[in-house]
Amino acid sequence: MRQRSTGTDIPSAASPTHRDPERSDKSDVAVVGGGLAGLGCAIECAERGASVELHEAAARLGGRARHLERQGFVTNQGPHALYLKGPGSEWLEQRGLLPDLVTADVTATRFRHGGRIGEAPSELLAACRQLGEPAPESLSFAEWARSRVPAPAAKLVERLLTLPTYDGQPGRHAASSVQAVLARTLEPGVVTYVRGGWGKLVEALAERARDLGVELRLSSRVEKTGRTPTVVATGRSAAARLLGDARLAPDGQAVALRDLGLREPSSSRERGPVALLDLDDGAYVARYSAYDRGLAPVGYDLLQCCAGLRPGEKAASAQERIERVLDAGYRGWRKRAMIDRQWQTASPGSRDAVGGGWETRPAVDRGDGVLLVGDWVAAPGLLSEVCFTSATTAAELVTARAQE
């Protein structure tokens, strides 16, 4: 392998460049995409002695892990949780990259059920305990859950799971994968938030990459792969286009999102719960500034909302579900709104079809020196964890072949 570069080269955001990894004469590996998976793979490859050049089409690193700063509010690209006690946090801990975290206060979460807001329904808690064992791949989660608990209780669990799966109807997917999400989500101390926004994690990864000599190129769009081993670390749409493989295109799952910056009400009763999960409508609202005061200006609250779209549902309908939750739990929110950003994005992660596990997702090794990483490829873990497990797999393959 060639000697690693000792510096970084970041083109001006105002002057995007178009590059072809085939023409690179100074790197062993080209990484396309500067999100968690791309940065993770660049770090892994560099740690194994490879010289690495990373290309990010946007002017900033981070992908879906970027945060936005607007009028004093710091918002993630949708509700984000960092799961501990798994391969993702272990990867970060081993490198001293685990950011400052806030543990989710489960006791502060309120639930809307039957039009009323309160603590978790007893039938939901009982059903979660009964569904604590690993489930089979051969059944949908809905089928499996209904074989173990009463149908109304199984439905409540499915509505609970719309949040961690970012899916409007999670019960249709393989029971094994959905139950794994349920088990991890309910484990004490697992769900955490990055203090200051997920951009803090991106900054730590980027600094580590630079220290290892990774060449970071922003506003650098790669149009095709070449002879240099290339790791594609983009979203599904970009990967399908870059590799000319329609099978990699998005699976159609999407989530409606909403960011609200609200003036604090005169009465604490109108401020609303720290978090409210609607078991009637399958939507979620969290007052993130209650966990991290620095996410909103003094005198204001930051709320982030989400609702996974159901099959055939339009974003406007999902936003109406979000508004019903806001109306129920956060009095006068419309009059207090300083910012109100509504948007929709593809659901993160993968949903395994009945009859298969994560091994049936798009393979990391695409052949001809091309590898694929991200939270939607064939590697173990949940959500962002798959970014790091797939990155490790790809780095192992790249560096092993370079030594042959």
Predicted local confidence at residue 22, as pLDDT: 47
- Token code pair at residue 84: 């501990």
Q: Does the residue 245 lie in any domain? A: yes
Q: How far apart are alpha carbons 391 and 231 in whole angstroms?
A: 9
Evaluated on CA atoms 185, 188, 189, 194, the torsion sign reads: positive
Statement to judge: residues 342 and 363 lie in one domain: no
CA angle 383, 210, 2 (to 5 degrees): 105
Q: Does the residue 328 lie in any domain? A: yes
> Which pTM was predicted?
0.90
- Any residues with CB less than 8 A from the CB of 233 and at least 6 apart, and which? 31, 32, 33, 34, 35, 37, 38, 41, 372, 373, 374, 391
**CA dist 163 → 56, 59, 283, 305 (Å):** 29, 30, 7, 10
- Token code pair at residue 198: 């997920």
Q: How far apart are alpha carbons 262 and 257 in whole angstroms?
A: 16
What distance lies between CA 391 and its chain's CA centroid?
15
Statement to judge: residues 225 and 273 lie in one domain: no
Q: Does the residue 226 lie in any domain? A: yes
Q: Does the residue 70 lie in any domain? A: no
CA angle 377, 383, 384 (to 5 degrees): 90
Statement to judge: residues 244 and 258 lie in one domain: no
**Structural domain of residue 222, as residue ranges?**
17-65+198-249+357-402
Q: Which of 177, 349, 178 minimizes the C-alpha distance to 250?
A: 349
Q: Number of structural domains, the chain?
A: 2
Please check whether residue 24 is in contact with residue 31, taking contact to mean a CB–CB distance below 8 angstroms: no
Please report, for the domain that includes residue 284, its CATH number.
3.30.70
Statement to judge: residues 362 and 293 lie in one domain: no
Evaluated on CA atoms 371, 376, 377, 381, the torsion sign reads: positive
Q: How far apart are alpha carbons 286 and 42 in whole angstroms?
A: 33
Q: Does the residue 6 lie in any domain? A: no
Statement to judge: residues 231 and 308 lie in one domain: no
Statement to judge: residues 275 and 335 lie in one domain: yes
- What number of CA atoms fall less than 13 Å from residue 288's CA on the CB side? 31
Statement to judge: residues 338 and 377 lie in one domain: no
Q: How far apart are alpha carbons 277 and 192 in whole angstroms?
A: 17
Statement to judge: residues 270 and 305 lie in one domain: yes
Full pLDDT tens readout for the chain, 404 residues:
433 333 323 232 333 444 454 444 568 999 999 999 999 999 999 999 999 999 999 999 999 899 999 999 999 887 788 999 999 999 999 999 999 999 988 889 999 999 999 999 999 999 999 999 999 999 999 999 999 999 999 999 999 999 999 999 999 999 999 999 999 999 999 999 999 999 999 999 999 999 999 999 999 999 988 778 999 999 999 999 999 999 999 888 999 999 999 999 988 778 999 999 999 999 999 999 999 999 999 999 999 999 999 999 999 999 999 999 999 999 999 999 999 999 999 888 888 999 999 999 999 999 999 999 999 999 999 999 999 999 999 999 998 877 76
Statement to judge: residues 261 and 326 lie in one domain: yes
Task: List alpha helices for 53-121, DSSP H.
Answer: 87-94
CA-CA-CA-CA dihedral for 220, 223, 227, 228, to nearest 10: 20
Please check whether residue 85 is in contact with residue 183, taking contact to mean a CB–CB distance below 8 angstroms: no
Please check whether residue 340 is in contact with residue 302, taking contact to mean a CB–CB distance below 8 angstroms: no
Q: Does the residue 75 lie in any domain? A: no
Q: Does the residue 77 lie in any domain? A: no
Statement to judge: residues 286 and 366 lie in one domain: no
Phi, psi (degrees; rounded to nearest 5) at 47: -65, -25
- Any residues with CB less than 8 A from the CB of 337 and at least 6 apart, and which? 260, 261, 262
Q: Does the residue 241 lie in any domain? A: yes
Statement to judge: residues 212 and 229 lie in one domain: yes
**DSSP annotation of 153:** H
**CA dist 7 → 49, 214, 252 (Å):** 15, 8, 40
- Bridge partners of 346, per DSSP, are 254
- Bridge partners of 293, per DSSP, are none
- Any residues with CB less than 8 A from the CB of 282 and at least 6 apart, and which? 159, 162, 168, 307, 308, 310, 321
* Count of beta carbons in the 10 Å neighbourhood of residue 25: 6
Please report, for the domain that includes residue 30, its CATH number.
3.50.50.60
**DSSP annotation of 70:** E
Choose one of 317, 346, 375: the last residue of a domain: 346
Statement to judge: residues 287 and 302 lie in one domain: yes
